[in-house]
Amino acid sequence: LPLENTVPDFRGQCIQRIERHIGCELVRREPRKKTTCVNKVKKITVICLVSRSYDSNDNSGDTGFWFKFCSPHRQNLLDYKNGYVGLGCATKNSILLIPKINFTKLLISLPSVKQKRLDYFLRIEKRNNEFFIDTRQEVGFISVQKYLI
């Protein structure tokens, strides 16, 4: 599945859906920073990352999604007590909204770029209509289905 229309449109659709889910309006933290939105009144930060779908190579019919979570994203999440990471998985009906505290716990299970714990490539896999994060380590796959909004 391609991203719905274009990346900026898809990210905007994800942000609108996240706004409805958390019950408040979000604005870009800075005009150039498309991935970081805030609500200063409610003290909420949302990092919204999007991916197109990538088919599995093993003929299983499973679909994967890739995201880059980098140190500026982590820093922006620290701006306010409340924060979320939104992962748009190719359609506006497949958005994972993970609370900051749960997301930081997930990062512990993931390999970082050059093992420096600054930047991460996240792989979400959809297997049998359920979403998992692929840790690419002994932990294996962790279900993130409960974060689907």
Note the maximum CA span of the chain: 48
Tell me how far apart the terminal alpha carbons of the chain are, to the nearest angstrom. 19
Specify the DSSP element, H or E, that contains 20.
helix 7-22
Structure tokens at 99: 């609370």
Quote the CA–CA distance of 100 and 57 in Å, as a whole number. Answer: 32
Quote the CA–CA distance of 112 and 57 in Å, as a whole number. Answer: 23
Task: Write out pLDDT tens, residues 68-109.
Answer: 999 899 999 988 989 999 999 999 899 999 999 999 999 888
Beta bridge partners of 62: none
Task: Write out pLDDT tens, residues 23-63.
Answer: 999 999 887 778 999 999 999 999 999 999 987 666 555 78
The amino acid sitting at 23 is G
Distances (CA, A) of 8 to 45, 115, 133: 19, 31, 24
> Is-contact 85 122, C-beta < 8 A?
no
Q: What's the whole-number mean pLDDT along residues 134-141?
A: 83
Query: How many other C-beta atoms lie within 10 A of the C-beta of residue 124?
Result: 21
pLDDT of res. 135: 86
Quote the CA–CA distance of 134 and 66 in Å, as a whole number. Answer: 10
Chain centroid to Cα 86, Å, comes to 4
